[in-house]
Chain A
Amino acid sequence: NAGVTQTPKFRVLKTGQSMTLLCAQDMNHEYMYWYRQDPGMGLRLIHYSVGEGTTAKGEVPDGYNVSRLKKQNFLLGLESAAPSQTSVYFCASSWAEASTDTQYFGPGTRLTVL
């Protein structure tokens, strides 16, 4: 089992460019999450999904969109990147709600927006 994988590992964008981050999990988890982590800070939830075809907003959703077309994949899109979106992005998945279940995290994607 690969667990949770993220693509790409690093990316540099110019302001206004768009990109998609891919998260894949092979544990057949229903729940998936996208977080961002800024330097010296904890993680903040961007969007989450409770199952294939469903998505919902987290704490900091502005400027991001997501899709969960397949159960194993959760995509995070930036339509028009801004320097404020420079961060490390983590994807996670779990069997049940994160409040009562373990979240498994990916290795992260380090994004720099110039």
Chain B
Amino acid sequence: LAKTTQPISMDSYEGQEVNITCSHNNIATNDYITWYQQFPSQGPRFIIQGYKTKVTNEVASLFIPADRKSSTLSLPRVSLSDTAVYYCLVVAGFQKLVFGTGTRLLVSP
């Protein structure tokens, strides 16, 4: 089981780039890395997914080193509306679908 470790919380200011790193030392060959965002009183929302190297979409980038034992979610130029909890999910198989406690990101003016 690929256990994930993330910082409990992070603080940032509007306009800054935020990088949230997730450690997953026991990641298996078939595991993908997925990041979700969750606002209070809402269900999680998909941000980005990757297997190796770098993935970029309209909202974020995901950096995965060659050994895949960690991954970094990069949010460019955050705004107040990016204040949320961010979950790193590493899973291969249904019984391993476990969200960790996530990282609470607070963006201030």
Contacts and interface: CB of A to CB of B under 8 A. Distances in A.
The binding surface of chain B is classed by DSSP as loop
Nearest to B46: A102
Contact of B31 (A41, A56, A99, A104): A99
Contact of A45 (B41, B46, B95, B102): B95
A70 B42 CA distance: 25
Given A42-B98, A59-B98, A100 B32 contact: yes
A10 to B, nearest CB: 11
A103 B36 CA distance: 9
A99 B93 contact: yes
B68 to A, nearest CB: 14
B32 A45 contact: no
Interface in B47-76: 49
A100 B50 CA distance: 9
A97 B94 contact: yes
B101 A44 contact: no
A107 B40 CA distance: 10
Nearest to B91: A99
A58 B94 contact: yes
Contacts of A35: 99
Interface in A54-73: 56-59
A45 B94 contact: yes
A27 B31 CA distance: 25
Contacts of A57: 95
Interface in A62-114: 90, 92, 97-100, 102-108
Nearest to A44: B98
B41 A33 contact: no
Interface in A1-54: 4, 33, 35, 40-45, 48
Given A58-B94, A99-B32, A103-B46, A40 B41 contact: no
B92 interface: yes
Contacts of A97: 94
